[in-house]
Amino acid sequence: MKINLRTDAKFHNLALMKISTAHKQAGDQVFLNGVGIADITYGSWLFSKSEKHPCDIEGGPAIDPAIKLNGFEEYKPDYSLFPVDYSLGFTWSYCPRKCPFCIVPKQNNPKEHHSIWDFHDSKFKKICLLNNNTFSDPQWKETFEEIWDAELIVRDENGYDLRLIDEEKAEALKKTKFEKYIHYAWDLMENEKKILKGLKLAPRGLVYVLIGFNTTQEEDIYRCQKIHDLGHDPYVMPYNGGNKQLRAFKRFIDSRMYRKCKTIDEAWKLYQK
């Protein structure tokens, strides 16, 4: 059979990589975003605004309600499908948070711990954990120990929950080799106390700052200032793309020009002139 896999993902798509392995083991021909007629076309969509081609079976975060392409979990990813130089997968997909802006609570991810060897290929020296909240896993330390034992570099995409970071977890992060930044997030003002405690313990990283959801500009500036003062770098993320003002604030923070001023508030006023 001829199998066509469609996606809007630029770098990798774990679901399609597992589907590819399953069909190749069955002797099928597999094509990524192929053209022409196929016996079965799968679609896995990440972004709601992207163009979606007709598919026989489809799923992904952009499908409402979010649908998973089930039945392929046992297969290892087909790393030949995308030009990646790292393994990727979940050791823990569950997240206890019920953030109103996030798609994860709708996915009903199981509370199941997995070894990195369920998806890691030893030909790679880097690993990408797709976990939604690693530190909510009771066996989180086993994941880090496997990574240390294999001497792997972590490609961090989803980040770590600052509200769960204590001295032991902070030390585990410091011991781990990361590709570029470690990622954290400060989305809601109501979490300020726990976030600040975590930021004081955590090694230097990039902190996602959600704006345009339920915070004021003063609160956005305040969060960025606190993050900067504690030795981290803010990374502003406008909700649903944001309006002109929010996008301008993102460009301002991305420029890091605030480092030349006493405060971010002062720098923002100069930037707008």
Whole-angstrom distance, CA of residue 101 vs CA of residue 66: 14
Give the mean pLDDT of the chain: 94
Whole-angstrom distance, CA of residue 119 vs CA of residue 132: 17
Whole-angstrom distance, CA of residue 260 vs CA of residue 231: 15
Task: Look up residue 45 and give its DSSP letter.
Answer: -
Task: Look up residue 205 and give its DSSP letter.
Answer: -
Exposed/middle/buried for 133, CB within 10 Å: 0-12, 13-18, 19+? buried
The helix (run of H) or strand (run of E) holding residue 118 is none
The pTM (predicted TM-score) of the whole model is: 0.90
Whole-angstrom distance, CA of residue 33 vs CA of residue 42: 10
Domain residue ranges of the chain, discontinuous segments joined by +: 1-73, 182-273
Residue 168: pLDDT band by 50, 70, 90 thresholds? very high
Q: pLDDT tens digits, residue range 72-127?
A: 989 999 999 999 999 999 999 999 999 999 888 888 889 999 999 999 999 999 99
